[in-house]
Amino acid sequence: MLKLQKRVPKSSRFFFKRDGMFSPSSTLALFMTCIARTHSKSSPNKVNRSKHGRNYNEIGNPEEALALFHRMLRKRPLPSVARFTQLLGEIAKMKHYSVVISLYNKMGLLGIIPTEYTLSIVINCFCHLKHIGFSLSVLGKFVKSGYEPNTVTLTTLIKGFLLEGKVNEAQECFHKMSNGGFKPDIITYNSLLNGFCKLGNTTAAVQLLRRIEKDPISKPNLVSYNAVIDGLCKDGLFVDSLSLFSEMACKGVIPDVFTYSSLIHGACGLSRWKEALRLFNEMVDQKFTHHLRTFNVLVDMLCKEGKIANALGLMKIMVQRGVNLDAVTYSSLVNGYCLRGEIDKAMKVFDTMWLFKVGRTQAAMELLCKMEGCAPLPDIRTYAILLDGLCKNGRLDEAITLFRNMEERKLPLNIVIYTILIGGMCKSGNLVAANDLFSQLSSKGIQPNVRTYNIMIDGLLGGGLIDEAINLRGQMEGNGFPPNSRTYNSMIRGFVRNHDLSTAVQHANEMLESGFIADVSTLDMFVNLISKGKLDPSLQPLIHKDL
């Protein structure tokens, strides 16, 4: 096996001491200067498979790769470094980056000298693990070994900076790369575009897109436009994203399902359901494979807007196209009916989901045929939505029955479910049942959260149980939940309703000292008391403080 002679590129020699050791003063400076003064002369990062070597593409899992690695270590003489490198590359494709680093270190202990391809793979793995510092250290070894980075390696490092949110460093690398004689390709450009958009810097992304358009070699492709359109939509710049969408079509770049999904999400986020439906219909006409997540977002928006008929129409289209709707879809429908106060219809959807679960498919189909769909098993979110709808509409008995059914079915009840039911009991004035259920939480291994405590405190105060409310607040703090704005405002209003004005004022002072302010209801209550002469007017500035 030929041994490569180490040499140090002239452009990088000043980074090394006389004894040949790498100076740790600035690995980033090494990177910057290296790409500013050198131009890649190496061939693309490819490893040729030996005629007698195994086809590593057949390796299916990391365990098999590890077993092969250890078999290779037992061979004498050792296989070539190219064989080891190819194996590392296959493991990296499986995204087991830590395994690659571990095996690379073992190779070093055995004296196996890495090639530029080996080091490029290791740099890539460190970048994916968000260890850009280690990537730069490997780059130092890369240069010291006489190798010069190429566009692929430099693009990988730019991705590494962006994965760690280091936009300035990524931009600096890109500019040094461009000025140093390296020609960024569309992969480099798209890496930057994706990085900018994921970090919310859509302004920089749009500016870069305009620069790519002027590049004589690389032109924006579908990936480029999708990244920027998605970023604009997530920033609420839906009009700008539509403009770019039109521009993209004029330039002959054909949109895909990802393009439409981003636009639909953007429209839904701004409640622009007409545009969302138009885009959805356009996507259907293009006969793209539909993303269920995108469809669910659209159904959820329509249901929240009260447009149940439109939502059902969309569900019918999806079912006709062979899309299996999930619990999220039907949870949105249940929520939509609950928001309209149509609890019976919400229950019908819910019951249908259970008919499918127990195998009564025909009955389920007959029950839901008017709604034009077929429902899956309800999940805990569906239960929570329906339970909340029953409680808010004063149908506590049905809510309790539903809760008991959940217990019988041994569903994983969480604090959200208990909090909803406790709130419903408090709202109906059934404080005994609410307190009993609240007391059972610890025995069930469930920890109340701030919302649970606040609901219980509000209920106790509403029932005139001031001492119990104060004691529960102390228990709440003892369990590591300091009172928040809702706690203070609920207690202040409760004390006022129970004619304990001095305690109300005391809590108002404490609230302000804790950095919270009176909400509109509390403020109106105090102003009303002052106007009626029931409270000292000198307290009014206290309530207005920080508003």
From 259-263, 301-305, 458-462, 536-540, the region with the lowest mean pLDDT: 536-540
Find, among 192, 186, 137, the residue nearest to 161 by Cα: 192
C-alpha closest to that of 490 among 529, 446, 456: 456
Distance, CA of 295 to CA of 127 (rounded, Å):
34
Give the model's pLDDT for residue 541: 55
Torsion of CA 122, 127, 130, 135, to 10 degrees: 60
pLDDT tens digits for 38-58?
Answer: 444 444 444 444 443 455 666
Q: Is 238 exposed, middle or buried (0-12, 13-18, 19+ CB in 10 A)?
A: buried
Which domains are present in the chain?
8-14+26-38+58-180 (1.25.40.10), 185-288 (1.25.40.10), 290-413 (1.25.40)
pLDDT at position 537 is: 59
Q: Where are the alpha helices (DSSP H) in 81-199?
A: 81-93, 97-109, 116-128, 132-144, 151-163, 167-179, 186-198
**291 φ/ψ sector (left φ>0, alpha ψ -120 to 50, else beta):** beta
pLDDT band at 286 (very low <50, low <70, confident <90, very high): confident
Q: What is the mean pLDDT of residues 393-404?
A: 86
> Which of 18-32, 143-157, 293-307, 455-469 is the least confident region?
18-32
Look at residue 524 and tell me whether its pLDDT is greater than 70: yes
User: For residue 7, is pLDDT > 50?
Assistant: no
Give the residue-averaged pLDDT of 187-216: 86
- Please tell me the number of Cα atoms within 13 Å of 499 on its side-chain side: 0
Assign 79 a pLDDT band (cuts: 50, 70, 90): confident
Q: Quick check: pTM over 0.75?
A: no
Identify the pLDDT of residue 471. 92
The mean per-residue pLDDT over the stretch 484-494 comes to 90
Q: Determine the pLDDT at residue 8.
A: 39
Dihedral, 30, 83, 191, 139 alpha carbons, nearest 10: -10
